[in-house]
A and B are shown apart, each in its own frame.
Chain A
Amino acid sequence: MLFQGLAEKLQETFKKLRGKGKLTENDLKAALREVRLALLEADVNLAVVKNFIGRVWERSLGAEVLESLTPAQQIIKIVKEELTALMGDTRSGINFSATGPTTILLVGLQGGGKTTTAGKLALYYKKQGKRPLLVGADVYRPAAIKQLEVLAGQIDVPFFSLGADASPVEIARRAVEHAQRQSQDLILVDTAGRLHIDEELMAELRSMKEAVEPQEVILVVDAMTGQDAVNVARAFQEELGLTGVILTKLDGDTRGGAALSVKSVTGCPIKFVGTGEKLDTLQPFYPDRMAARILGMGDVLSLIERA
């Protein structure tokens, strides 16, 4: 399960804390040291961790918490609130255009899962009655256009590209015209993976964005990413302006720290998570539920109740 390791570690820490009854400042310090390590082991970005611990520390220090009858319980509550805030408070979906077709640009590093996620979004919204068009604008990676075409065929969604010799900007522009003619109302543009420090390719994305004025620019992030996730997210945000994030490969045993880091760095909501290679494995993301899950859901919540 996602976050399992983190959940176990945090629960262990809180169990110890709870066993103590009355808490001193030193107890709190020791517990937060463990929380810090647990978060780092889960690949939460160090800067994010430090901020987080700082906030929990400040909120817990006061006499109301430490000298209350149930200090451990109070601290767990504070941790849960801060975790939820870290991930964004509420569910956030795709913003659809009120007037014309909606265009979504999928961007990110190489191999993160953009092409697959384009297919998943197409299927997800097709099932909700939309008319998606999949657009192959990755002219660089070998067989990338073919990959998307195959996926489009699997879910019986129309596909558009101009081949690997066309410019991605031209493909995107023509795709929008094509969609309007065919009355497709959701245009999903798959772009080539690129490094956030690749100025030329980042400029190309900006041109694409200018050309098609998308409703959504979504960063696709591999959930197994480590400390670098925030640098990547920050760069894409600054260079391009993002409207959301989709985390992929959550079907493994990643502790998912990227989820905690990326939101707080970009301020963009995590809109969906990918949990498999098949196209029906896209799930809406609920920050509050996720926070509860990290804290062992039932377990810790019941700990709070019993405490």
Chain B
Amino acid sequence: MVAFFPKLKETLAKTRESFVSKVTQLVRRHDKIDEDFYEELEEILLQADVGVAATSRLIDAVRADVKKKKIGNPEDVRLLLRERMEELLGENAPLQFATAPPTVILVVGVNGVGKTTTIGKLAYRLRQEGRRVLLAAADTFRAAAIEQLEVWRERAGADIVKHQPGSDSAAVVYDALQAARKRGVDVVIIDTAGRLHTKTNLMEELRKIKRVVSREIPGAPHEVLLVVDAATGQNALRQAELFGEATDVTGIVLTKLDGTAKGGVVLAIREERGIPVKLIGTGERPEDLKVFDGKEFVAALFAEEGEE
């Protein structure tokens, strides 16, 4: 958490360069706030994957502010936009832990977004904090998914419960929860197979897993994390909607922010579905997981060279 900001700034350098230079160029090129100006601002947001609806609502809010506060200088719009984006992202939402262990974290998402890697990184972090962590290898479908989780288990120093490939994922979860109780584990993290939100039979399987968790551990799962690849476009909205319906998603993990994708779709998700971003992935090493902070996220997007 402490080291989050400098690293994130570094990570977002590319993003910031393009975003900042675009916004900066925009405010320099215009000496008044007219339709052209708004149109270009809209384009900047669209290119960050914020999406048509959330973008137009952000712009409308800025327009209203400009009118109300009688703002004439394009430079001031930068600040307004930043405020509106922070407001949209809302309060930071830390991970929830059970009052009495074990805490159960269910991790879901479409194929290849970074679920297993995020779990490895999260387990590593929780282990650093001295908690006992158990991983449930409930992706019994994808080739070598269990072996992949095994490698991460070793890196993190966690326990694992696994079955044969192709076996029933809910049964793995059941066994993992039993083992967790017996061994006095603090946190159980469940890795699930990637699935497209449109596949109803696979979404039903997730519901089943969740039912097993709730039945075995009252109050669990304490977190259902939807992993979203930062490069995803507007489809992430549908992912949030349908995974939300099936499993009551409590938070988003935004991965691959070390690329050039801006992850702007989380603004749209927050606006339309109200789900907060909790963690961000910034690489493939164990330490590349950060707690999400909305203000820092927006600040990093807007920061000028040398600004802290």
- Tell me the A residues contacting B by CB distance below 8 Å: 37, 40-43, 46, 109-113, 140-144, 146-151, 154, 195-197, 222, 224-229, 231-232, 249, 251-255, 257-258, 277
Contact = CB atoms under 8 A, between A and B. Distances in A.
B147 A146 contact: yes
Given A228-B262, A251-B196, A253-B198, A143 B148 contact: yes
Q: Sort A-B residue pairs by CB-CB distance and give the 9 closest, nearest first.
A: A226-B233, A111-B112, A43-B233, A142-B151, A147-B144, A150-B143, A143-B147, A252-B196, A228-B261
5 contacts: A144-B148, A146-B143, A228-B49, A232-B260, A251-B199
Given A109-B259, A110-B114, A111-B112, A227 B233 contact: yes
B111 interface: yes
A196 B261 CA distance: 11
Given A147-B144, A147-B148, A197-B260, A224 B235 contact: yes
Contacts of B238: 253
Interface string B179-201: 00000000000000010111100
Contact of B150 (A42, A141, A143, A257): A143
Given A151-B143, A195-B258, A142 B148 contact: yes
A3 to B, nearest CB: 12
Q: Which of A113, A228, A251, A258 has the most CB of B within 10 A?
A: A228
Which of B52, B148, B231, B233 counts the most chain A CB atoms within 10 A? B233
B27 interface: no
Interface stretch (B40-48, B62-70, B207-215, B291-299): B40-48
Contacts of B251: none
A226 B231 contact: yes
B151 A224 contact: no
Chain A interface mostly: loop
Contacts of A224: 110, 229, 232-233, 235-236
B127 interface: no
B102 interface: no
A43 B113 CA distance: 18
Contacts of A112: 112
Contact of B233 (A140, A146, A257): A257
A200 to B, nearest CB: 13
Contacts of B235: 43, 224, 226, 252-255
A147 B143 contact: yes
Given A226-B261, A231-B260, A37 B229 contact: no
A226 B265 contact: yes
Contacts of A140: 284
Contacts of A148: 143
A226 to B, nearest CB: 3
B256 interface: yes
Contacts of A151: 143
B14 interface: yes
Contacts of B112: 110-113, 222, 249
B83 to A, nearest CB: 24
Contact of A226 (B110, B148, B151, B234): B234
Nearest to A256: B235
A195 B145 CA distance: 22
B57 interface: no
B142 A277 contact: yes
A228 B233 CA distance: 8
A258 B152 CA distance: 32
Interface in B207-232: 229, 231-232
Contacts of B198: 251-253
Nearest to A47: B47
A111 B51 contact: no
Contacts of A143: 144-145, 147-148, 150-151
Given A41-B51, A195-B258, A253-B238, A228 B148 contact: no
A42 B234 CA distance: 7
Q: Which of A111, A197, A249 has the most CB of B within 10 A?
A: A111
B145 to A, nearest CB: 8
A114 to B, nearest CB: 10
A277 B110 CA distance: 11
Contacts of A113: 111-112
A110 B259 CA distance: 10
B259 A277 contact: no
Contacts of A149: 144
A222 B231 contact: yes
B52 A40 contact: yes
Interface string B76-107: 00000000000000000000000000000000
Interface in B26-58: 43, 46-49, 51-52
**Which interface residue of A46, A113, A142 has the most chain B CB atoms within 10 A?**
A142
